[in-house]
Amino acid sequence: MNELWIVSILGCIATLLLFRKFAIRLRLSKAKHKSMRGHSKWSRRIAGWIKFFEYSPQQYFCVDGAPEEVAQQRINGFNALTNKVKKQSAKTIDQYQQISGDISDVQFTSLYRVPFPFRTHLPDVFKLGSMIDASQGVKVKDLDGQWRYDLSGSYGVNVFGYEFYKDCIKQGSSRVESLGPALGSYHPLIADNVAKIKAISQLDEVSFHMSGTEAVMQAVRMARYHTKKTHLVRLCGAYHGWWDGVQPGVGNRRKVDDVYTLADLSEQTLKVLSTRHDIACVLINPLQAFHPNADSASDASLIASDRNTHFDKTTYTRWLKRIRKICTDRNIVLIFDEVFTGFRLSYRGAQGYFGIQADMVTYGKTLGGGLPVGVLAGKHELMKRFKHDKPVDVSLARGTFNSHPYVLGAMNVFLERIAEPEIQKLYQNIEQTWIERVAHFNQLLKESDIPIKIDNMHSILSVNYLQPCAYNWMLQFYLRSNGLELSWLGTGRFIMSFDYTDDDFNQVIHLFIESAIQMRNDGWWWYSPTLSNSSIKQQFLKDMLSASLPFKVKGKNKHQGKTNENEQSPTSLTHAKNSNSDKVYGS
């Protein structure tokens, strides 16, 4: 009898433990975003299944079911734009083609400027990026002598304008020129830099690295080392550098089981943070407030017109404060990844902008005064790389070029300059300045009947498309041909420097609208009542599955498949074959 009683008790305990384990797992699952971005392992599996497919020349200009005359209109505009770019940028294109086979980054960015089914027949002049040899004010110059307004912001480096950074580099070099690139020892400027970074971050210690990615790696390593916990939490869609330890989804081939990717702005995420015992740190990229639960907007993923960047400062501030409280209560390290947003959103970066103190902060980009750098600032107890009572239990982090004298020199000038009254005054007004500029931009777009709305988070802008369309990715090429310099993300992100005057930006608006009108006149924004973002994406999915699966998917367009050898390229076509049966999207 006693044995049966013991077995029953053990059975109940086992059942309760299994139920508890299931409940914990269910809570974690509910905290994941429903998209593939929120399910890292599945996103990697699915990425491996997807096979390349391309639209044939007959389909290329009418995948949305546009009638023959519209397809011909697009072909004419496509050819005219191609010829214009060839004439404008002959030297630049030639130089870029010479390096394209030797530099892996060039090969990648050249192919990922548009959705992949369109890239094969895209002319090389559109695939290639730019080469520039001079900057002046808010403009950059290519090898053919063309000056363009810079909307790329050098991927976030250029906060205060190129002239500002040229001066930082020049003055900084003069401060360390007697030492040169001596490594290992420290130039005495490091003490002043550290004092200024500590005052800005309101944290205790600083370590120097060669990039923002390295700074993030060190922050995560130290959080795990001191909390003795295994997992980090990142929010869905957030980018924290190319290290696979913070990139568990597509792009990483290593098995990563120590990262939780949880939904942004989710009550379920807060429950996970409040109940799990294995979370060492939470990584916050403040830019995620601009597109919660979504990747950075890029024209390579612009399948339809459902890009949705939107910023609500009040809501996101409230969200971050709740995370801050939970991290404090649960001994979780709160890390602000300010590699991109540091010194842009405010003098104290996102900490000052949202009014939240982090436990650790990573910096990069602009802090080097125009030179490459990564910096980690943190509390004393989190930055220590050894334990007094366990002398062999250490956490190593070194780098040959950490604290490079020339970087320290440019950084020193940068930190001095941004503390000056002129820059401090600029910080007080710059956000409102960009809010007003974007409002004016949108008013002019509306008056010009352009199906576009510009959204912004501070001085970071994105183009949202208001009308269902499968060809929005073409706009980037019109913009560039008319004097606007974009990054390889295209219209997904414009990073504006603070030295833009109202006159400068009004000229950008003028060139943007001129480009959009040309695109509209060339038929790319043709619209049918049967066309919707859903129908565009559904057909794209069918086409993709048809190429990936060993059997045909019902509804697949009969012209789908690789181009036949006898078919002409789009730029040589004089007409587009089309009929009701040829329609793909919106049919």
Task: For residue 2, tell me if it sits in a domain.
Answer: no
Query: How many helices and strands (H and E) does the chain possess?
Result: 19, 16
Domain check: are 253 and 286 in the same one?
yes
Residues of the chain with pLDDT under 70: 1-2, 5, 7, 10-12, 14-25, 550-587
Q: Which of 288, 439, 283 is nearest to 360 (CA)?
A: 283
Task: For residue 492, tell me if it sits in a domain.
Answer: yes
Domain boundary pick from 419, 440, 455 = 419
Domain check: are 265 and 354 in the same one?
yes
Domain check: are 288 and 182 in the same one?
yes
Task: For residue 42, tell me if it sits in a domain.
Answer: no
Domain check: are 258 and 197 in the same one?
yes
Residue 571, judged by CB atoms within 10 A of its CB (0-12, 13-18, 19+), counts as middle
- State the Cα–Cα distance between residues 487 and 493, nearest whole angstrom: 8
**pTM (predicted TM-score):** 0.89
Question: Number of folded domains in the chain?
Answer: 3
Domain check: are 464 and 406 in the same one?
no
DSSP state of 31: T
pLDDT tens for each residue of 487-501: 989 999 999 999 999
Contact by Cβ (8 Å): 261, 236: yes
Q: Which of 555, 585, 524 is nearest to 81 (CA)?
A: 524
Task: For residue 44, tell me if it sits in a domain.
Answer: no
Contact by Cβ (8 Å): 90, 131: no
Question: Does residue 546 sit in helix, strand or coil?
Answer: helix
Instruction: Sort strands 279-284 and 231-235 into parallel, antiparallel or unpaired.
Output: parallel
CB atoms under 10 Å from CB of 337, counted, come to: 30
- Rg of the chain in Å (alpha carbons): 26
Domain check: are 517 and 559 in the same one?
no
Task: For residue 302, tell me if it sits in a domain.
Answer: no
Domain boundary pick from 510, 526, 542 = 526
Residue with tokens 């604290």: 403
Task: State phi, psi for 159 to the nearest 5 degrees.
Answer: -90, -45
Structural domain boundaries enclosing 178: 165-295+310-419
Domain check: are 233 and 334 in the same one?
yes
Tell me how far the alpha carbon of residue 96 is from its chain's centroid. Answer: 24
CATH number, position 152: 3.90.1150.10
Q: Which of 213, 193, 148, 186 is nearest to 418 (CA)?
A: 193
Please tell me the total number of residues recorded for the chain in this structure. Answer: 587
Domain check: are 138 and 174 in the same one?
no
Task: For residue 273, tell me if it sits in a domain.
Answer: yes
Domain boundary pick from 526, 541, 557 = 526
Domain check: are 563 and 539 in the same one?
yes
Domain check: are 204 and 282 in the same one?
yes
What pLDDT is stored for residue 21 in this prediction? 61
Task: For residue 7, tell me if it sits in a domain.
Answer: no
What residues contact 496, with CB distance under 8 A and at least 6 apart? 151, 153, 434, 459, 460, 461, 505
Q: Which of 373, 54, 408, 402 is nearest to 196 (CA)?
A: 408
Domain check: are 410 and 274 in the same one?
yes
Q: Which amino acid is at 330?
A: R
Task: For residue 175, tell me if it sits in a domain.
Answer: yes
Q: How far is CA 521 from CA 29, 71, 76, in A?
A: 48, 12, 11
Longest dimension (CA), the chain: 95
- State the Cα–Cα distance between residues 232 and 400, nearest whole angstrom: 27
Beta strands in 227-358 (DSSP E): 231-235, 259-262, 279-284, 333-337
CATH number, position 334: 3.40.640.10
DSSP state of 207: E
Domain check: are 336 and 209 in the same one?
yes
CB atoms under 10 Å from CB of 390, counted, come to: 8
